[in-house]
């Protein structure tokens, strides 16, 4: 590959990752918003936060994911480590969108729990793989993993309370 091609590749992939974060955020929102009336009818656990918390937390987490991806891409490391890390990064983004579809569009907290568990596993794998490239990139994903742990418990409670 020529130097110009390497330069284009080096900027294109992190831009795609950043755009992927915002696309996942947008798609998740598109799947969620039309179903908020259904969500309002659910029996809710006592540890459910107010809706404003979600509107504050998710944008912050998506920005942190985007910054993490940018840092991981630009960090020194083996190309095969980087490729695998970004495969898992995009897998976890896709699973996050699937969760919005499962929980909100399908009105299925039970399926949501299953998807959430897969999401949590994919996030942990991504953190481990990003850590091979950059400790900072990996640490930026930890709040996301912690939030998804909380959200998994919340989703499980919704399933128990609503059948």
What was the pLDDT predicted at 16? Answer: 83
pLDDT per position as a tens digit, 17-30: 888 888 998 999 88
Residue 81 has pLDDT above 60, yes or no: yes
CB 116 within 8 A of CB 155: yes
Between 4 and 104, the more confident residue is 104
The CATH number assigned to the domain with range 3-162 reads 1.20.1260.100
Angstrom distances, CA of residue 48 to CA of 90, 153, 154: 28, 10, 7
What was the pLDDT predicted at 84? Answer: 97
State the average pLDDT for the chain.
91
Task: For helices 135-162 and 109-133, give the axis angle rounded to 10 degrees.
Answer: 170
For the chain, the domains span 3-162
pLDDT per position as a tens digit, 90-102: 999 999 999 999 9
What was the pLDDT predicted at 1? Answer: 42
Band (pLDDT 50/70/90 cuts) for residue 2 is very low
pLDDT per position as a tens digit, 29-69: 889 889 899 999 999 999 999 989 998 999 999 999 999 99
What was the pLDDT predicted at 10? Answer: 67
Residue 7 has pLDDT above 70, yes or no: no
In our burial notation (b when 16+ CB lie closer than 10 A, e otherwise), range 36-73 reads eeeeeeeeeeeeeeeeeeeeebbeebbebbbbbbbbbb
Band (pLDDT 50/70/90 cuts) for residue 9 is low
| Mean pLDDT, residues 133-162 taken together | 97
CB 57 within 8 A of CB 147: yes
């Amino acid at each position: 590959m020529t130097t110009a091609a390497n330069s284009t590749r080096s900027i294109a992939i992190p831009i795609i990752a950043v755009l992927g974060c915002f696309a996942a955020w947008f798609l998740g929102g598109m799947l969620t918003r039309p179903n908020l009336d259904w969500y309002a009818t659910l029996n809710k656990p006592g540890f459910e936060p107010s809706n404003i918390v979600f509107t504050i937390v998710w944008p912050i987490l998506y920005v942190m994911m985007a910054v993490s991806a940018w840092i991981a891409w630009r960090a020194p490391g083996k190309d095969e480590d980087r490729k695998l890390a970004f495969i898992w990064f995009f897998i976890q983004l896709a699973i996050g969108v699937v969760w919005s579809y499962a929980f909100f569009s399908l009105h299925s907290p039970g399926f949501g729990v299953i998807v959430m568990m897969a999401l949590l596993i994919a996030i942990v794998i991504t953190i481990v793989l990003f850590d091979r490239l950059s400790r900072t990139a990996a640490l930026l994903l930890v709040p996301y993993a912690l939030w998804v742990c909380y959200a998994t418990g919340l989703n499980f409670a919704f399933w128990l309370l609503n059948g």
